[in-house]
Chain A
Amino acid sequence: MILAGLALTPPYYLVLSALMFAVGATGLLIRRNPLVMFMCVELMLNGVNISFVAFGADLNDVGGQISVFFVLVVAAVEVVVGLALVVAINRRRADATADDVSLLRG
């Protein structure tokens, strides 16, 4: 096999991480359903998590995994508050998309 002599070096993980981040960012720009936009933010966070673990493995240091742990906590809190906002907005106005919430627009 061609792959037999190759090692899984950090660039493989970093390119995968970049792909995942870019897909998430594109989705965030395309979609207008706030729930799906939050899912795209999760994609971006997970893309970054992959590169954290890859860097940690490359440096033989546990710091990368610790960073992922903290990102996970922040992501959980972000989802809780974000979904609470979505529920609060939907209570006032059903079927609201991100474009409809424009009260602060100048």
Chain B
Amino acid sequence: MAEFITFFCGAAIILAGAIGVVVARNAVHSALFLIQTLLGVAVIFVVQEAHFLAAVQIVVYAGAIVILFLFVIMLLGVDKAEDLGVEPIAGQKPLAVVLGASLLATAITFVLVATDGATGVGSGDPERQLDSGITDIERIGRVLFTEYAVAFQLTAALLTIGVIGAVVLTRSLSSADQLDDLEPASMDLPSLAPEGANDEHHVDTVEEDAS
């Protein structure tokens, strides 16, 4: 009973937040609605007794990812209301809503058909069973560092690649020029046109050099 009430409260929080993300005109409001949705998902995780994930959901998603979003919104100064009435592509919105509704109808049909009387079998490994008496975080830790150790290492590599990618993409042009200056100048390369020869392309040339 209490489970049910918690579930429906969490579901209401999630759906209100999700719709808010989509319809809010201001990107900051979208980010705040996203926090609401992520907290609702944390509530749903608690109902399913995934306590560790609920904590991680709040710390990593609501605490780090959304704050990153807000940082970028403020950094770029795009925190002004967007005119949602402008439609560069005719009929984009109605078509998107129709596509989303059909996606939803398909998914729900599959859920109701597929789960009708279906029974699943877990792995049977006592280490992996959720009712084995050890705490949630201990169970995840044991399985993560034994069975999924390789995948865990790969996520470390992925995070490193992500950090390097972010640094490369956001490297400012001036520091890029400095890096280029460190290399010995080669006279064999086709040199750039003299200053002012094609001024209108000058900015593009510099940026191509930087990349």
Instruction: State whether A11 touches B72 (Cβ < 8 A).
Output: no
Q: Would you call B108 and A36 a contact (CB within 8 A)? A: no
Q: Please tell me the number of chain A residues within 8 Å of chain B, measured between CB atoms.
A: 74
Smallest CB–CB gap between A47 and chain B, Å? 8
Q: Check B21 against A65 for contact (C-beta < 8 Å).
A: no
| B33-66 to A contact mask, C-beta < 8 Å, 1/0 | 0100110010011011110110011001100110
Contact of A39 among B30, B108, B130, B163 (CB under 8 A): B30
A55 to chain B, nearest CB (A): 8
Q: How far is the CB of B191 from chain A (nearest CB, A)?
A: 25
Cβ of B108 to closest chain A Cβ, rounded Å: 5
B103 located at the interface, meaning its Cβ lies under 8 Å from any Cβ of chain A in the complex: yes
Measured between beta carbons, the chain B residues less than 8 angstroms from A62 are 128-130, 139-140, 143
Contact of A23 among B15, B129, B169 (CB under 8 A): B15
Interface of A toward B, CB cutoff 8 Å: 1, 3-4, 6, 8-16, 18-27, 29-33, 35-36, 38-40, 42-43, 46, 49-50, 53-63, 65-66, 68-70, 72-77, 79-81, 83-88, 90, 92, 94-95, 99
Query: Footprint of A on B, CB under 8 Å?
Result: 1, 3-4, 7, 11, 14-15, 18-19, 21-22, 24, 27, 30-31, 34, 37-38, 41, 44-45, 47-50, 52-53, 56-57, 60-61, 64-65, 68-69, 72-73, 75-76, 78, 82, 88-89, 92-93, 95-97, 99-101, 103-104, 107-108, 111-112, 115, 120-123, 128-131, 136, 139-140, 143-144, 148, 151, 155, 158-159, 161-163, 165-166, 169-170, 207
Contact of A46 with B99 in the complex, beta carbons under 8 Å: no
Residue of B nearest to A45 (CB): B61
CA of A43 to CA of B18, assembled, Å? 7
Assess the A80–B166 pair: CB atoms within 8 A: yes
B97:A26 contact, CB within 8 angstroms:
yes
Which residue from A21, A43, A61, A85 sits with its C-beta under 8 Å from B21?
A43
Contact status A8-B7, CB under 8 Å: yes
Would you give the shortest CB distance from A3 to chain B, in whole angstroms?
5
Residues of B within 8 A of A13 (CB): 44, 48
Given that A33-B78, A36-B30 are contacting pairs, would A66 and B112 also be in contact in the complex, using a CB cutoff of 8 Å? no
Query: Do A69 and B129 touch across chains, with their CB atoms under 8 A apart?
Result: no
Counting chain A CB atoms within 10 Å of each CB, which of B7, B24, B41, B148 scores highest?
A: B41
Given contacts A62-B139, A66-B143, A73-B158, list 18 more A-B pairs with CB under 8 A.
Answer: A9-B115, A12-B7, A21-B107, A30-B97, A39-B69, A43-B34, A53-B44, A53-B50, A57-B48, A57-B50, A60-B129, A60-B131, A63-B128, A73-B155, A76-B60, A83-B166, A87-B76, A88-B170
- From B72, B100, B207, give the contact of A22 (CB < 8 A): B100
